[in-house]
Amino acid sequence: MIHRDIASIRNTISSWRADSKQVRIGLVPTMGALHEGHLSLVDEARRRCDRVVVSIFVNPTQFDSKTDLAAYPRTEAEDIALLAGADAVFIPSVEVMYPSGFSSQVQVRGLADRLEGVHRPGHFDGMATVVTKLFGISGADLAFFGEKDWQQLQIVRRLVADLDLPVGIVPCPTLREADGLALSSRNRRLSPEARAIAPRLHAIMQDCARALRAGDRADECLETARRALGTAGFTGIDYLVCADAETLAPSEPAKQEGRALRLLAAASLGSVRLIDNIVI
């Protein structure tokens, strides 16, 4: 069930395809430190596929800071115990994914340069490259991504369309704590004080989305929300924007012309950076 090299996971997947040409294979790519949000992706994959592969790989190329990479929680034994619902778990090493001489990169221009791309240079190039590799290794029919990382989801959709990759992308809703905080592996790094403030991000975003829907001026709604985040105790606000849900270009209800809009934010509590997004 655990595969640490590419030949081994490929053999298993080939044997499933040899057993039945109709088999539908689902991939849930993760970086481990699994929580209920990841498990909801596995559940959805289970519902829609005959076989489910979960990958666990803390991908170094999508971290723009060595400190952030080192601080990323690694909980492999607990993760494996939580993955009873998967048919195979792929846990490659960095050397397996990026052997000596590795030189390729997948770049999704435009989309990847906005929002997170401004604050985490190179992050989406690393993400897009590893996700493309995981699609190639698994040959999955469907791959499951959380809406929590909305920009990542749009980038993955774009690269699949641009590169004609034969995989369907299934978006899955963000899971939240009872107080509204979006589930994230990073939440476990919040101090008790920061954890008490963290749900204000979602609450303030909801107030802002309500005001935007009501037709209030977008610049004023966003400014009010930014001030509220500062007052709540957020130490840095990287962005809080109303954007086209697909292209992520800044937009607002008055200019939307029938296109879906999304409110997206990234804000820090000390060294922990939280991101969230909601529909407008």
Query: In the complex, what is the shortest distance from the CB of residue 229 to ligand PAF, in angstroms, rounded to a whole number?
Result: 24
Alpha-carbon distance values, 65 to 49, 148, 261 (Å): 36, 21, 31
Binding flag, residue 30, ligand PAF (CB under 6 A): yes
Query: In the complex, what is the shortest distance from the CB of residue 162 to ligand PAF, in angstroms, rounded to a whole number?
Result: 17
- Nearest residue (CB) to ligand PAF, 174 versus 251: 174
- From residue 105 to residue 144, the character string flagging contacts with ligand PAF as x (rule: CB under 6 A) and all else as - is ----------------------x--xx-------------
Question: In angstroms, rounded to a whole number, what is the distance separating the alpha carbons of residues 51 and 49?
Answer: 6
Residue from 29, 37, 92, 117 binding ligand PAF (CB under 6 A): 29
- From residue 188 to residue 217, the character string flagging contacts with ligand PAF as x (rule: CB under 6 A) and all else as - is ------------------------------
Residue 202 annotated to the active site: no
CA–CA–CA angle 154, 155, 161 (5° rounding): 90
Assign 72 to helix, strand or coil. Answer: coil
Binding flag, residue 40, ligand PAF (CB under 6 A): no
Query: In the complex, what is the shortest distance from the CB of residue 242 to ligand PAF, in angstroms, rounded to a whole number?
Result: 23
Question: In angstroms, rounded to a whole number, what is the distance separating the alpha carbons of residues 254 and 231?
Answer: 28
Nearest to 135 by CA among 271, 10, 262, 249: 10
- Nearest residue (CB) to ligand PAF, 30 versus 174: 30
Q: Are 142 and 167 in contact (CB under 8 A)?
A: yes
Closest residue to ligand PAF, based on beta-carbon distance = 29
Binding flag, residue 59, ligand PAF (CB under 6 A): yes
Compute, in degrees rounded to 10, the torsion defined by CA atoms 30, 48, 135, 5.
Answer: 60
Residue from 27, 31, 181, 225 binding ligand PAF (CB under 6 A): 31
Pairing of strands 2-3, 261-269: unpaired
